[in-house]
Structure 1
Amino acid sequence: MNTKHLTLPSVFLISALALTACADGASGGPGSDEPDAAESGGAASGEPAAVESSVESTSEPAVEPSDRETHEAGGPSPRLAITYDGGVSVLDGATLEVLSQDEAEGFVRVNPAGDGRHFFLTEGESFRLIDGGTWGEPHGDHDHFYTTDPHVSDITVDGPAPGHVVSHDGIGTLFFDGNGEIHSYDLADLDVESPLETEVAETEEAHHGVAVVFPDGGRFETLGNEDERNGARVLDAEGEEIVSSEECPGVHGEAAGSDGMLAVGCEDGVLTFDGAEFTKIQADEEYARIGNLFPAEDSPIFLGDYNLDEEGEEPMTEVALVDTASGEISTVDVEAPYNFRSLARGPQGEALVLAEDGVLHVIDPETGEHTDQLEIMQEWTEPEEWQEPRPAIRVVDDIAYVTEPDAQTLHMVDLGSMEIINSAELDFTPNEIAAVDGRTAEGAEDHEGEHAAEEDEEVDDAEVDEEADHEDHDH
């Protein structure tokens, strides 16, 4: 096992030291990675309507959100949210220090909210907003970056069987499997100090699905009911169907590719939407379920899981490389079992597979060749129930975060040098992991925030008072 402790890449080291230099920012986006869940209930389609999320108090916070101290950082400062039995923790992405631990009832899940700062905790029959405590603010031709203490808020969006969380083009979408409700929100509106207003629409029937709301008010949504799922459709802002396809049995997951392409997995391939029409990319096998897709920036190729056993008894060992440019699906045998939390993309678009042999496999998506590998942990076996902890991987820039539940450990892997550069023992067994990078996501920079506003005021004052010095302002 190749391990080097406490050696951090420069971008993370700069953030950890909280320097006050200015740095440019970029945006990123999440993919979807949930397995199937039970569908229940029913709903009729309707026009979008504005609602305000409920605010439910579970316990008095030790510090009010507005009382938290703010620190300026020298660059983006990633934060990680990790769930465990009975709670959720937020960690510093550079040092792996546990910054907060909060109790939560029942089985909980976590997803990035889409703005580079917040998470949504799936808890019972609600999505609960978490402030990861890291963000960037535009300031002229560059960004300034800040951190504060994480905060699990009392702001929730409620509904039966909360499922997928996705975001595109400045809009986030929450999907409730139990009634088919689609709640959308502006990324710029996420704030743990203010109630969250969402626009609400509904699918024709309730099902385990996913939706994407467009800036013009239209939306992409999956088709199905409690018995089966079979495709997707696109509607305009008035709720009128524009185009649809029922060529996707068992539709699941969602990912956005290059040029705004949307893709969902099927039990016999992948269905894509290019902004005008649907295209089915057929798998060679009669049954070849691709339930989760992982995109990479500027790449037409999606990485997907590839399940050839309809009964779900045989483990997956092959991964799918879905080339949307050629309309072909190729497969690569990892020669070790893996599961739905095993896949990610690297900084150069490389396909990453964390398999049960304890090895992180690196695959060239263009050629399908194995280009590198790193032993991270001992061999392990996927648990029978999907809710039970198993190793998981998330990537921010050139760093992969890998959980090892059996050892209650979190590993930090430099994908450039392919070595473990830090490992942290946890006092809980990690289950799900999500990451935010502290950069302002596209569409979430509609207003610069209070710190940037303060800076602008001070700059204006400096123009009036020649003795004022811009370097002296506070954040």
Structure 2
Amino acid sequence: MKRHTRLIAAAAALAGAALVTTACASPPAAPGASGTSAPKAEAPAEGRVAVAYENGIAVLDPQTLEVVGEVATEAFTRLNPFGDGRHIAVTTSQGFQLLDTAAPELTDLVFGATTPGHVVIHHGRTVLFDDGTGTTTIVDTDAIEPGATELPETETYAADAAHHGVSIVLEDGTLLTTVGDETGRTGAVALHAHDDHWDEAASSDACPGIHGEGTAADEVAVFGCENGALLYKDGGFVKLTAPDEYGRMGNAYVSETSPIVVGDYKSDPDAEGYLLGAVTLIDTAAETLEVVELPDDVRFTYRDVARGPEDLAYILATDGAIHVLDPATGELVDAFDVIDPWEGPAEWQDPHPSIKVAGDIAYVTEPSSNAVHAIDLTTGETVASVELDAAPNELAVALG
């Protein structure tokens, strides 16, 4: 693929970006992907950005956005950080295949899955969920050595039935995983490992359509439901009910230093398209759920929300601007233009703008111009851009 890189700001500004492009970023929530955690502060700049397009993936330098390598893939692939600051889990027909962004190359390491779905990174564990079998695979996040030719040891849990699910392992080893079957998803269960089996510690069936996951301050986990949200805290589940009969939160955008979860929100089950105009604010400490309606020009999809500096939420809206939401107040406190206005996708997997944040830098795709941009969230300035020869679709950041 031919490509062109153009530096937007002066060298001094770019040098500043190098200092702040430093945090380990967790994957964004989406169909087949889990909730996202805000970057923790500063991390080294040697990690890279991966962008999927039809039949390929481009690996970009995180500071200049120069294309440092490309690999051929299947027509459509999903991208999720593996969590080690080097590898990306690429969902293919074979399972979760590892992309080494440092090489860069698509390795032969594949965690087998019939229908690879969510990837969750938390407290040194990377957890992979196979929707086709209901199998959870748990692996130490730092277990993949550079140049490895064999997969590391893993631990697995098989659900009673296959479903589109998600799992997370907490610091104390508790496995939280969704419950469902071919007819639907109902809730979650907390499990403890004992030799060759898992013991149930707690469960809840009060979360119809359970989807997405995130972990807030004090390691409170949250799942989205079609009628609110489900928390796991202090060893048990807590249901938070939406104000509408149908009030779906499907994706959680979290920071591990904030008790407030920002979630997307949909109150009309028959609404067409994928654009949303409201968010939920879930206070995991106070155990409250509030719905905030956004202005008419602030519409977004599951790809367009991320947590960033000062635990704020950053919404890439259809007007082309990043709108800054203060989760503590529910107020929009700032906005800056970054791309041209855009329309929602016909199908969820179609290329449309997305945002991922690492440190103070937001990476933004603009499929209409085949572009990827790096935005300094502390100033609103675009510090680098690259123009590809194909429309960028999936986006993942491997910084560690």
- Structure 2 length-normalised TM: 0.89
CA distance in 2, matches of 1:267, 1:357: 28
**Aligned partners of 1:295 and 1:301 also within 8 Å:** yes
Match of 2:265 among 275, 283, 306: 306
Q: Which residue identity does 1:180 align to in structure 2?
A: G
**Aligned partners of 2:254 and 2:262 also within 8 Å:** yes
Q: CA deviation at 1:416?
A: 0.6
Q: CA deviation at 1:15?
A: 9.6
RMSD: 2.1
CA distance in 1, matches of 2:176, 2:379: 40
Match of 1:5 among 3, 9, 14: 9
Match of 1:111 among 72, 75, 80: 80
Query: How do residues 180-329 of structure 1 correspond to structure 2 at under 5 angstroms?
Result: 180-191=134-145, 192-196=147-151, 197-214=153-170, 217-238=173-194, 239-313=198-272, 315-329=275-289
Taking structure 1 as reference, are residues 198 and 342 closer, same or farther at Cα in structure 2, changes over 3 Å only?
A: same
Q: CA deviation at 1:9?
A: 4.8
CA distance in 2, matches of 1:435, 1:172: 15
Q: Which residue identity does 1:296 align to in structure 2?
A: S
**Aligned partners of 1:332 and 1:368 also within 8 Å:** no
Give 1:342's aligned residue: 304
Residue 352 in 1 paired to residue 323 in 2? Answer: no
Residue 403 in 1 paired to residue 382 in 2? Answer: no
**Aligned partners of 1:32 and 1:166 also within 8 Å:** no
The alignment partner of 1:382 has SS state of coil
Structure 2: tracts of 5 or more residues without a match: 1-6, 34-42
Match of 2:97 among 120, 128, 134: 128
Which of the pair has more CA radius of gyration? 1
Q: CA deviation at 1:11?
A: 5.2
Give 1:35's aligned residue: 31
CA distance in 1, matches of 2:136, 2:247: 29
**Aligned partners of 1:414 and 1:421 also within 8 Å:** yes
CA distance in 2, matches of 1:345, 1:11: 20
CA distance in 1, matches of 2:245, 2:88: 38
CA distance in 1, matches of 2:174, 2:331: 40
Give 1:175's aligned residue: 129
CA distance in 1, matches of 2:231, 2:16: 35
Q: CA deviation at 1:359?
A: 1.3
Deviations 1:291-345 (A, max 9, x none): 0001123111111111112124163111122111222222141423211101001
**Aligned partners of 2:108 and 2:149 also within 8 Å:** no
Q: Which residue identity does 1:351 align to in structure 2?
A: A
How many residue pairs are counted as aligned between the two chains?
A: 376
Give 1:366's aligned residue: 328
Taking structure 1 as reference, are residues 13 and 281 closer, same or farther at Cα in structure 2, changes over 3 Å only?
A: same
**Worse-superposed segment, 345-354 or 322-331:** 322-331
Taking structure 1 as reference, are residues 235 and 29 closer, same or farther at Cα in structure 2, changes over 3 Å only?
A: farther
CA distance in 1, matches of 2:20, 2:323: 29
Deviations 1:330-388 (A, max 9, x none): 21414232111010012111111111111111111111111111112222111211111
CA distance in 1, matches of 2:82, 2:250: 21
Higher share in strand? 2
Query: How do residues 126-165 of structure 1 correspond to structure 2 at under 5 angstroms?
Result: 126-133=95-102, 149-165=103-119
The alignment partner of 1:420 has SS state of strand
The alignment partner of 2:299 has SS state of strand
Give 2:120's aligned residue: 166
**Aligned partners of 1:31 and 1:293 also within 8 Å:** no
Q: Which residue identity does 2:393 align to in structure 1?
A: N
- Identity among equivalent positions (%) equals 39
Query: How do residues 74-89 of structure 1 correspond to structure 2 at under 5 angstroms?
Result: 75-89=44-58
The alignment partner of 1:179 has SS state of coil
Q: CA deviation at 1:242?
A: 0.7
CA distance in 2, matches of 1:13, 1:171: 27
CA distance in 2, matches of 1:274, 1:323: 12
CA distance in 1, matches of 2:367, 2:354: 9
Taking structure 1 as reference, are residues 291 and 111 closer, same or farther at Cα in structure 2, changes over 3 Å only?
A: same
**Aligned partners of 2:32 and 2:118 also within 8 Å:** no
CA distance in 2, matches of 1:90, 1:282: 42
Match of 1:333 among 279, 294, 298: 294
Taking structure 1 as reference, are residues 385 and 395 closer, same or farther at Cα in structure 2, changes over 3 Å only?
A: same
Q: Which residue identity does 2:279 align to in structure 1?
A: V
Deviations 1:81-127 (A, max 9, x none): 11110011111100101111100113101000012221100111311
Taking structure 1 as reference, are residues 287 and 6 closer, same or farther at Cα in structure 2, changes over 3 Å only?
A: farther
CA distance in 2, matches of 1:80, 1:29: 11
The alignment partner of 2:243 has SS state of coil
Deviations 1:45-90 (A, max 9, x none): xxxxxxxxxxxxxxxxxxxxxxxxxxxxx94323101111001111
Q: Which residue identity does 1:109 align to in structure 2?
A: R
Deviations 1:234-262 (A, max 9, x none): 11113111100111111001111111111
Taking structure 1 as reference, are residues 13 and 172 closer, same or farther at Cα in structure 2, changes over 3 Å only?
A: closer
Q: Which residue identity does 1:114 align to in structure 2?
A: G
Structure 1: tracts of 5 or more residues without a match: 17-24, 38-73, 134-148, 440-475
CA distance in 1, matches of 2:160, 2:239: 23
Bigger relative contact order, structure 1 or 2 (CA pairs below 8 A, ≥6 apart): 2
CA distance in 2, matches of 1:14, 1:371: 25
Q: CA deviation at 1:165?
A: 0.5
Q: Which residue identity does 1:224 align to in structure 2?
A: G
- Structure 1 length-normalised TM: 0.75
CA distance in 1, matches of 2:93, 2:17: 35
CA distance in 2, matches of 1:10, 1:400: 16
